[in-house]
Structure 1
Amino acid sequence: MLGRLRTLAAALAVTVTLGVGTAQAQGHDRAAKPTKRVYNSMQFAHPSAPDAFCTIGAVGTDAHGRKIAISAGHCGGSGSYADREIPENDLPVYDRQDFDYGPIGYIRYFKSPEGSMTGHATKDYMVIELVPWVTLSSQGPYLKQTGMVEVPGGAPSPNAVSPARDDERLLGASLFDNNELVVSGQLGVWYGRVTNNSRGVYQCHAPHQAGDSGGPAIWHVPGSAYPSEANGFKAEGPWAGITKARILGIPPYVYTSSANILADLRARDEADPADIFGGGFKVTTNP
């Protein structure tokens, strides 16, 4: 996985000299292009390295009305762009299945891995500002996201400022909890119980592989249908997190909670009077 992610970061860096001028030039012929739908599970990459890709975990809008996608922070690598707002159009994001369309957005923030092979422990996320002319959709190929998971009375995310909101609280993983994640990636659609919750990083039997980083995880609403051949392997539920990494453990699959991401976005927004990309993020309700 690491090799792919480093390649993705390098490919994005190649575009630094193109910058805003390229974005403006591409805007002139935008009216001639068809509308593109952007959704969870969409893979993104740079044309110079199509096999170095990551995946979108959720799409929606922020408090300023901008169209936003969330993915994994470690997909951005490290360097001078890490841990800061990136107002420059230096790091474009392309739909891996449609490079000819041009950028669907630009990376505006990512958390540096800080030396960890699996990314920053609790803040491993990326904010992508999507271009205004794409259409947001809550429906991925298999997963439909119905808002954000809320856990009234749950333990607050370690990133939360007090008092934590309900969507900044963590799913329980104790013996008497039965919280399950449903995930979608290259291996198909899987679900599994949250067996451990380490500071808002969920451990789960639902598998993933390299390139799925940043991809979607929803909470299985008790009583709702599980993905199966009978329903086309589809499921719906509130956004609960994104794919993070594989670790040495049982199960080896871990996911960054949506609570950790939302809590850190709010904490950064309140701490800095500047305009924070992604602050107040809400999953789209568009079908």
Structure 2
Amino acid sequence: MTRTSRLLAGTMAALAAATCLTVSTAAGTAAADPSPAAGHVAYPGMNIDFDNQIDYPGEACTLGALGTDSAGRKIGITAGHCNPWNNDAVPPEGFGPVPINKGAPRGVEVAGNDHPVYDRRLLEVSKSAGIPPNPLSNPSIGQIRWVDPHVCQQGETGPGGLGCLAGYGETSANSRTDYMIIEFDPAVELWSGVYNKNGQPVQAPGGGLFKVNSIYSDASGAPALPPVSSQIVTFGAKSDRTPNPGPFGMANEVAPSEGSVHSYIAPGMIRTRAGSQPGDSGGPVIARGTNKWVAIITATPYQWYQPPQHVVTSAKNILDAINDPNRPGTIGRGFTITNNPNS
């Protein structure tokens, strides 16, 4: 069976899972067998959702990198600012109503199962098949376990009262990271390849399939930052679905999107010409011509004609933060990126 047909088969199998009970697990615990997530896959560039309602204006983002931590848990990394609104007050204009599932608390390891993550592509398939979304036809594939404390809701501040990333990735020079850790159901299979909205493997600029199966590193093997003027490639699920090249291609909001490392707005926070738009946040960024994970998508400009304002958060910053011995909890620590030769 081909990769593409396996992906479609997994999607359709999940649609047939209405006879299964939904089983969620706390961080680090085993799942009951069989799991409703059996047959599901997760992969870089996957469109994810937090409320299981495709027409509900909640947050939808893109998966960046996948792997396992030192405890053997299956881990996904996306943007921290994708965390749904979690205040009791009505969100400000432009943020939609209060989400069905509120966001997870910041800066603490979340052990409960109140912050599910869904495969948004499966919601799209369900809608086209006329199947109303529900926890049985589209069970959660994982749970939010950690949200970067340096991201926040509108009007809040980061640690120590410093500025932070808010909303759709507005940038602050005080921010050095923008990440979320997802723990997948143990039954979910992790893939290395990037797939588009039709379930087809994506070709990367520079040749070969777009994969994310190693980490951009220096000669010693430590995660590193790409040099200014080097070429990087992004993939965002929203740009895959609604590309916006813009006049003369200046917006470059397409998937995949290629561009240079223009500059650094802060250490490890990269300004680039590789485009993105809201909904692409968290998507994978690789060094051109390689499968090496460089960063995840963080922010996009408000106007296409602005200087290169697309911002990505480096894998180095994220991994340094995850492995910081002073960070509460252990989820994600010792992250090893997935290298699945079958995907």
Partner of 2:218: 151
Report the Cα offset of residue 33 of structure 1: 6.4
Work out whether residues 108 and 329 of structure 2, in 8 Å CA contact, stay in contact via their aligned partners in 1. no
Counterpart pick for 1:257 among 314, 318, 321: 314
Aligned: 1:63 with 2:67: no
- CA 1:119–1:81 in 2, change beyond 3 Å: closer, same or farther? farther
Counterpart of 1:208, as a letter, is S
Distance 2:39 2:293 in 1: 25
Report the Cα offset of residue 30 of structure 1: 3.8
Report the Cα offset of residue 150 of structure 1: 0.4
- CA 1:77–1:139 in 2, change beyond 3 Å: closer, same or farther? same
Work out whether residues 23 and 36 of structure 2, in 8 Å CA contact, stay in contact via their aligned partners in 1. no
Counterpart of 2:81, as a letter, is H
- CA 1:254–1:108 in 2, change beyond 3 Å: closer, same or farther? same
Work out whether residues 278 and 300 of structure 2, in 8 Å CA contact, stay in contact via their aligned partners in 1. no
SS at match of 2:291: strand
Partner of 2:232: 181
Report the Cα offset of residue 237 of structure 1: 1.5
Which structure has the highest strand share of the two? 1
Aligned: 1:92 with 2:149: no
Distance 2:332 2:256 in 1: 27
- Give the structure-1-normalised TM-score: 0.73
More displaced stretch, 207-216 vs 94-103: 94-103
- CA 1:119–1:103 in 2, change beyond 3 Å: closer, same or farther? farther
Partner of 2:161: none
Distance 1:102 1:119 in 2: 34
Determine which structure has more spread, i.e. the larger CA radius of gyration: 2
Equivalenced residues, count:
232
Report the Cα offset of residue 215 of structure 1: 0.5
Distance 2:110 2:36 in 1: 28
Counterpart of 2:80, as a letter, is G
Aligned: 1:218 with 2:286: yes
Cα deviation digits, residues 10-47 of structure 1 (max 9, x gap): xxxxxxxxxxx9626xx668457651111001111122
- CA 1:116–1:38 in 2, change beyond 3 Å: closer, same or farther? closer
Partner of 1:107: 144
Distance 1:180 1:202 in 2: 12
Distance 1:60 1:22 in 2: 22
Aligned: 1:166 with 2:231: no
Counterpart pick for 1:204 among 272, 277, 284: 272
SS at match of 1:23: coil
- CA 1:49–1:180 in 2, change beyond 3 Å: closer, same or farther? same
Work out whether residues 76 and 82 of structure 1, in 8 Å CA contact, stay in contact via their aligned partners in 2. no
Counterpart pick for 2:181 among 127, 131, 139: 127
Work out whether residues 37 and 139 of structure 2, in 8 Å CA contact, stay in contact via their aligned partners in 1. no
- CA 1:32–1:254 in 2, change beyond 3 Å: closer, same or farther? closer
Aligned: 1:40 with 2:44: yes
Aligned: 1:82 with 2:106: yes
Which structure has the highest helix share of the two? 1
Partner of 1:23: 24
Structure 2: state its 5+ residue gaps.
Answer: 1-21, 26-30, 87-103, 124-136, 158-163, 196-201, 203-209, 240-253
Aligned: 1:245 with 2:252: no
% of aligned pairs identical? 31
- Give the structure-2-normalised TM-score: 0.62
Partner of 2:96: none
SS at match of 2:121: coil
Structure 1: state its 5+ residue gaps.
Answer: 1-20, 154-164, 225-235
SS at match of 1:88: coil
